[in-house]
Amino acid sequence: MTPDSRTPWIPARIEGLAQLAMNLSWSWNRDARALFRQIDELLWHETRHNPLQLLRRADPERLTACAADPDYLARYDAVMARLHGENGRSTWYGTEYPAHGARPIAYFCAEFGLHNSVPIYSGGLGVLAGDHCKAASDLGVPLLGLGLFYRKGYFDQELRLDGWQENSDTSFNIGLTPLEQLHAPGGEPWLATVETSGRTVHVGAWKLQVGNVPVYLLDTDIEPNHPDDRGLLSQLYAGGPGHRVRQEWLLGVGGVRVLRALGIEPQVWHANEGHAAFMLIERLREQVAAGVPFHEAVRSVRAASVFTTHTPVPAGHDFFSFDEVAACSGPVWEAMGLDRDTLLNIGKHPAESGIFHMTIAAIRLSGSVNGVSRRHGQVSRHLWDDLWPGRPSDDVPIGHVTNGVHLQTWMATPVMRLLDDLLGPEWNYQPDDPRMWEQVLRLDCEQLWDTHAELKRILLKLMRERARWRFAGRWREAAHVVGAGTLLDPEALTIGFARRFATYKRANLVFHDLDRLRRLLVNRHRPVQIIFAGKAHPADDPGKQVLQSVYQFTRDPSFEGRVAFLEDYDMHEAHLLVQGVDLWLNLPRVPMEASGTSGMKAALNGVPQLGTLDGWWQEGYDGMGGWAIPPTPEGLETSAADAADAERLYALLEEKIVPLYYTRENGIPDGWVNVMRHAIRLAGSRFTARRMVQDYTRAYYAPILTAEPRTDDPPIP
């Protein structure tokens, strides 16, 4: 009998499967995934790669057969040996920074996208945080995550027949996740209390093990909380400003107090986006309440803090009125011996009054601040230069660490096998040598093309099966089924566009000239098709309108079913999409994209990007691994700039991309496959989460741990 009640009886010989399923490291270990898949491949796909659900539903006779199969047992023993052996192996961090030991680094973020079975993320920020944790585990960086437990996740997307997005809420089954509830020594389900909006809120926590990185998720749905407080953290980014400020207050203040209750004393505090700024305020409160003078306490908090901003658009940063923050926090300033404005001015913009900016508070209380691409660092220095009066924008001390993606999570197993044959089976344990990535250019054209074609078939099969399931369950109109991609052609050039539907991301730019687009899509000899996916923020009606306009083209018979929309997009579908399309499309208005990571994930699978020169593509585009839309002249009105970008988009497709894809010799588009190889080399050598976390460690974590002085702090009003 397994020790974990979440799984049924498992034969003693393979009972370690239950332990394996309780640590999300299985999700980026392809040998571990293969163990679960081999139990019942159809069930593995039905459960959307959830090993706990698989073990619960697996036929006991099949488990018994696996426990008696010598081949299965050999693979099982190898996986378990590696699992236990990795705890003692030397790591990059241990080798590079032996003096730092395991001094904890706390990484606060409002969401973590780790696996689709734990749906507590909305999109890019959360997935980036999840990849950060996975890479830290691989590297041996002593990171811990701190976030919120959203029992209802983000929201489930349903599109009406007219394409308008509707949101539905469903709580997920905690028993089918590896979440472990923590208790106080007396058995209480809470670890700390936080005063907010005139009441005491008890804060519990759940632990999620991500390799060697624990992620703690705060929960208020516990006794003896007031009924209104129990639902405070039930859904991601829900409610109006009053609700949001309370969520963020609980994340920051509750997060610090829960770590204290667990006996964890971080030496580095990393606030990932402004949602976590109250973590810095709480640490300031601790010191001032203990008798440390205010300005000395500010210097102490700054010395141990890192802040990463992810948004170059001013309206994208959270801000609340002084009254909203005061109502949420109560007179916390009194406990600090301060007046109200002295505390709230930490988040005040020099040109405004009465508004508390979360990003400004985080900048003022962090000794290290960075954007998430080279271009975003430049934009951020200009955006926040008012905080350093008299200093030229270019000298503002905001750096950058370009985002990256977790290779073992996002690269398809068949692509990894090609690299096994080329580079040796241990290549992904030693990926830091750039000379290794140059060898990728030697990948066999036919093998790479055949591998990609199979991944494309898998994607299109998923879309057909999802359409079949929805047709049987709730869809009744044929156009709805066609719009889900049932008529897509596995031989046609297939473009993928999957983003949050914000207006600046311009999902509808490709429809700027319908006649020109139609000629591309329905060409009998060289057809093109487009798959869209993504959600609009529940409060973003302009974004919903863009989504609706895109969806309506899936129902236009003149496009012959070559425009499709993949509904209710999440991490499971994201894997298949970035692996299965031929070309990735990314069209933000410059310079409004901070980084963007979906194109990196696609590139790891040999899917080149076509995009504007913004975010990561501004520094990643090399003319060999994809295509770039040239910058438009400065000073153009938005509509004129959109028209100019659309013209360049069509020209690239018509003159370069489509002809290259359809130029074949013996059925293989050698020129296209060469671009695929360069895309893999580019992403693997420069845009992985491993490189990203190494950069954070070298530039920010290690200097804090060695107490290197910082002198560029912005003044507080």
Residue 350 sits in a domain whose CATH number is 3.40.50.2000
375 and 285 belong to one structural domain: yes
Q: Distance of alpha carbon 381 from its chain centroid, rounded? A: 24
238 and 349 belong to one structural domain: yes
pLDDT digits (tens, 9 = 90+) for 624-645: 999 999 998 888 899 999 999 9
**How many separate domains does the chain show?**
3
pLDDT of 1 higher than 50: no
pLDDT digits (tens, 9 = 90+) for 108-147: 999 999 999 999 988 889 999 999 999 999 999 999 999 9
Phi, psi of 147 (to 5 degrees): -145, -160
Unique residue bearing structure tokens 């923020």: 537
- Joined together, the tokens standing for residue 345 give 């001015």
pLDDT digits (tens, 9 = 90+) for 317-364: 899 999 999 999 989 999 898 999 999 999 999 999 999 999 999 999
Residue 549 · residue 511 · CB < 8 Å: yes
pLDDT of 88 higher than 70: no
pLDDT digits (tens, 9 = 90+) for 14-65: 999 999 999 999 999 999 999 999 999 999 999 999 999 999 999 999 999 9
Question: How far is the C-alpha of 392 from the C-alpha of 367, rounded, in Å?
Answer: 19
- Joined together, the tokens standing for residue 590 give 């410059």
Per-residue pLDDT at 122: 86
Q: Distance of alpha carbon 475 from its chain centroid, rounded? A: 31
541 and 670 belong to one structural domain: yes
Residue 496 · residue 529 · CB < 8 Å: no
Unique residue bearing structure tokens 């990196």: 600
519 and 601 belong to one structural domain: yes
Mean of the pLDDT values across residues 154-170? 79
Per-residue pLDDT at 158: 81
Question: How far is the C-alpha of 678 from the C-alpha of 440, rounded, in Å?
Answer: 8
* Residue 2: band (very low, low, confident or very high) from pLDDT cuts 50, 70, 90: very low
Tell me, yes or no, whether 563 lies in a domain.
yes
Three-class DSSP category at 103: coil
Unique residue bearing structure tokens 């624990």: 214
Tell me, yes or no, whether 92 lies in a domain.
no
Mean of the pLDDT values across residues 378-403? 95
332 and 428 belong to one structural domain: no
Q: Maximum CA pair distance of the chain? A: 79
* Residue 598 or 477, more confident: 598
Mean of the pLDDT values across residues 558-569? 93
Question: How far is the C-alpha of 51 from the C-alpha of 10, rounded, in Å?
Answer: 13
- Rounded alpha-carbon distances, angstroms, from residue 704 to 399, 697, 713: 16, 10, 15
Unique residue bearing structure tokens 């078939």: 457
Question: How far is the C-alpha of 132 from the C-alpha of 114, rounded, in Å?
Answer: 10
344 and 359 belong to one structural domain: yes
Per-residue pLDDT at 652: 98
Per-residue pLDDT at 3: 40
Tell me, yes or no, whether 2 lies in a domain.
no
Strands (E) across 82-169 are located at 105-108, 143-148, 156-159, 165-168
Q: Tell me which amino acid residue 564 is.
A: A
pLDDT digits (tens, 9 = 90+) for 56-79: 999 999 999 999 999 999 999 999
Tell me, yes or no, whether 307 lies in a domain.
yes
- Domain span at residue 124 reads 105-154+172-402+696-705
pLDDT digits (tens, 9 = 90+) for 677-701: 999 999 999 999 999 999 999 999 9
**pTM exceeds 0.85:** yes
Per-residue pLDDT at 711: 59
Mean of the pLDDT values across residues 415-426? 94
Tell me, yes or no, whether 641 lies in a domain.
yes
36 and 184 belong to one structural domain: no
Question: How far is the C-alpha of 233 from the C-alpha of 138, rounded, in Å?
Answer: 30
Which element (helix H / strand E) includes 135?
A: helix 124-139
Question: How far is the C-alpha of 572 from the C-alpha of 565, rounded, in Å?
Answer: 16
Question: How far is the C-alpha of 710 from the C-alpha of 703, rounded, in Å?
Answer: 10
* Residue 5: band (very low, low, confident or very high) from pLDDT cuts 50, 70, 90: low
pLDDT of 425 higher than 80: yes
89 burial (CB, 10 Å; 0-12 / 13-18 / 19+) is exposed
Mean of the pLDDT values across residues 145-159? 87
Angle among Cα 402, 155, 209 to the nearest 5 degrees reads: 60
Q: Among candidates 547, 451, 460, 462, which has minimal Cα distance to 497?
A: 547
Tell me, yes or no, whether 6 lies in a domain.
no
50 and 138 belong to one structural domain: no
pLDDT digits (tens, 9 = 90+) for 365-382: 999 999 999 999 999 999
430 burial (CB, 10 Å; 0-12 / 13-18 / 19+) is exposed
The percentage of residues in the chain with a pLDDT greater than 90, rounded to a whole number, is 81
Tell me, yes or no, whether 331 lies in a domain.
yes
pLDDT digits (tens, 9 = 90+) for 485-536: 999 999 999 999 998 898 999 999 999 999 999 999 999 999 999 999 999 8
